[in-house]
Amino acid sequence: MPTQKSGYSYYVKLVGVSVGGSRVSGVTPEMFRRLHTGVSGCIIDIGTKMTGFVDAAYVHIEKAVRLHLQHHGAHFVHLQGHHLCVHQPAPHHDVLPSMTLHFDGDAWLRVMPEHVFMKIVDEAGHQYQCLGLVSTRHVTVIGAMQQINHRFIFDLQRYPTLSFNPEACHLDVPQAKS
């Protein structure tokens, strides 16, 4: 998909978001459009931990996640410093949704539930899953947590493009010899 470099940032054209396989209503391409002022758009950044969506999109995405969790019987809990948290689901119970980022040109990035949510353990050892997304004011940033297990290739020599595919990235790490 085409990308545009500006300083140290790579801009992409995000056009929509799906949660649990359903397109999030209320999220429009205009929310992610880069304006001539440069203070807007959508960038890919491995230096940012979590994905941040502009406020206008985030409210719709969080609502879609909440509705998905409610529909699947998740048990919500309030944890200080986190938002949209649920008790850790049983391993066989698919409560947590995936998220798909839709880009211009029919490209899409599917983010598995374990990279949409963060596992939190409290002082008593209770386990929870909390939404690993944040709200931002001006720029949507696709962070490192949502890039896990995908290989990203930036081709900046010819027409600037970004390619990505799912990959078992842990296989790239040399195994320690016994």
> Can you give the pLDDT at residue 169?
65
> Can you give the pLDDT at residue 36?
75
> Can you give the pLDDT at residue 85?
95
Q: Please list the rounded mean pLDDT of every run of 10 residues in the chain (178 residues).
A: 61 94 96 82 85 96 97 92 86 83 90 92 92 94 78 70 69 65
Task: Record the pTM.
Answer: 0.84
> Can you give the pLDDT at residue 1?
54
> Can you give the pLDDT at residue 96?
94
Q: Which residues contact 114 (CB under 8 A, 6 or more apart)?
A: 96
> Can you give the pLDDT at residue 144?
74
Cα radius of gyration (the chain): 17
CB 135 within 8 A of CB 53: yes
Identify the CATH number of the domain defined by range 4-172. 2.40.70.10
Q: What are 14's two structure tokens?
A: 């995000």
The alpha helices in 52-94, defined as continuous H runs, are 55-71
> Can you give the pLDDT at residue 172?
67
**Rounded Cα distance, 122 and 57, in Å:** 30
CB 26 within 8 A of CB 17: no
